[in-house]
Amino acid sequence: MRTSAILGAASVFLIGAQVLAVPSSYVVWSAETIRLLNAASATKGELLAYGCVACHGESGMSASPAFPHLTGQDPRYLFKQLSDYKDKTRINPLMNAIAAGMSDEDMADIAAYYAAQPPPAPAPAPESSGGDMALAMDLITKGHGSRMVPSCEGCHGHQGAGRPGYYGMPVLGGQKSIYLQIALKEYRTGNRANDVYAVMRDIAKSLTDDEITALGNYYATQKLR
């Protein structure tokens, strides 16, 4: 499921005069990976996810604004993130330690469990958020050509409902606004660098703080199925 081949855009490090390239993710969407995810057990995943409750809440509904909801998330996205934590292509000391002891089957089962749960309820729109919503909608539906920012819905779907055919793309609708803002700012600084081809890093570098806030607020208020 993971390979040593260089995938996507690489992070480059200089050591003396030597340039070393490190992949942004080792996950390969091979037939083997897809079979693993299709055979995953949500029942087993529920038992494995018991240790996730402290941060991500019952059934994946997090109470903390800084921790994401996992309920209703795309299973391929969850599997990729856990794999990236295990390989340390996504850095978070707590999650790195948790994922280190997981097998590919464990990660697939946990992903299946959270994906099977109902999506989170939308958050109420912040007061005086009309300007924010208009700003967000421009980016979501049209993007910004002169800054090479594509429309958000091109990858994340209408209202952030996701695109099942786009492997590893997250559902954004109903997610925590603060968490989404944190994620975009981490991409912007490069502190999060597990996006293949550096797609999100390049986009986030072109976003203003106001745009990031508007996008977080918009997606948090979206109701899914």
pLDDT, tens digit, 9 for 90 and up, residues 129-143 = 656 888 999 999 999
Enumerate domains of the chain plus CATH numbers: 29-115 (1.10.760.10), 130-220 (1.10.760.10)
**% of the chain surpassing 70 pLDDT:** 89
| H or E element that contains 76 | helix 75-87
Q: What is the DSSP string of 143-156?
A: -BGGGTB--THHHH
pLDDT, tens digit, 9 for 90 and up, residues 144-170 = 989 999 999 999 999 999 998 888 899
Give the C-alpha separation, 2 to 24, whole Å: 12
Q: Which residue has the tokens 């260089």?
A: 6
Is the C-alpha dihedral spanning 2, 168, 208, 198 positive or negative? positive
Beta strands in the chain (DSSP E): 11-15, 18-22
The token duo for 5 is 């081949």
| H or E element that contains 82 | helix 75-87
